[in-house]
Structure 1
Amino acid sequence: MNDYLDITASELLKELDHFFLIDTHDGAATGFWVNEQALTERHYWVDGDYKVEIVRALLPAHQHAPHNYKITRLAASENERNVVLLEYDGVHKRILTFRRGEWVNRLCKYFYQKERYYLQQLNENPNFQAIEY
């Protein structure tokens, strides 16, 4: 397994882009109309005692700009505050906040496990044909 502690924010953003291409959408908000629900995807990840919210958003005024990302570690109790781990402004292509730490390692391992699970589900589907190179 890779050690992601040295990962840069831009590499993490690539991982996030790839992750949201995987099966994270529950299919509840479908349709081609523009609304806030269709432009914002939320994913929650449990990291030890904390719940982490991953938000991917697209601004209606900038449909062709890269997505905005915000990863927030939510407070576990009333005495704590939410901690923003990553905030990326896709319109201006600027990383506003990036807190390095072990959470990056755990998040990337989670992405990897989710992808492996997704590929396994596809493989078990009779309509999916494994391609070997």
Structure 2
Amino acid sequence: MITRILLAVDDSPAAMASARHAIELAACLGARLHVVTVVPDHSLSNLVTRMGSHPGVHERRDQAAEAILDHVVRLARASEVEADAHLLEGDAARRILAEARSMHADLIVVGRSEGLDRSTTAHILEFAGQPVLVVPPEVR
């Protein structure tokens, strides 16, 4: 029985498609939705801050990530799905898998990404201890 769904999102079209599917699935099953987004560690932001005149890179990046999480949680609650959200930092695949283990997720939902992010999805598929639903971007 699926009662706890971990949804990993970013700002990609595939992630927003996966959010819509995860919310619909959670609503049908009466499952709780645990939404996460992962930002890389601060080493790149530190370099950008040191090399240029871009103060506040960390804060702006974190604010953007929080805005994505807030948006998905609002969508879930509008569909009467119980949801919470967490901003994580580090390697995306490793953090998503660790979060799924710690919350005892019954299902992981991710969007199918293109380019470099495909390795994140592949890593999650290979090492997850529970089923993984990979949602493609919606075709318009």
Both structures adopt the same fold (TM-score exceeding 0.5)? no
Whichever structure has more strand as a proportion of its residues is: 1
Q: Please, what TM-score do these two structures have when normalized by structure 1?
A: 0.28
Q: Larger relative contact order (C-alpha < 8 A, sep ≥ 6)?
A: 2
Q: Please, what TM-score do these two structures have when normalized by structure 2?
A: 0.27
CA radius of gyration, larger in:
1
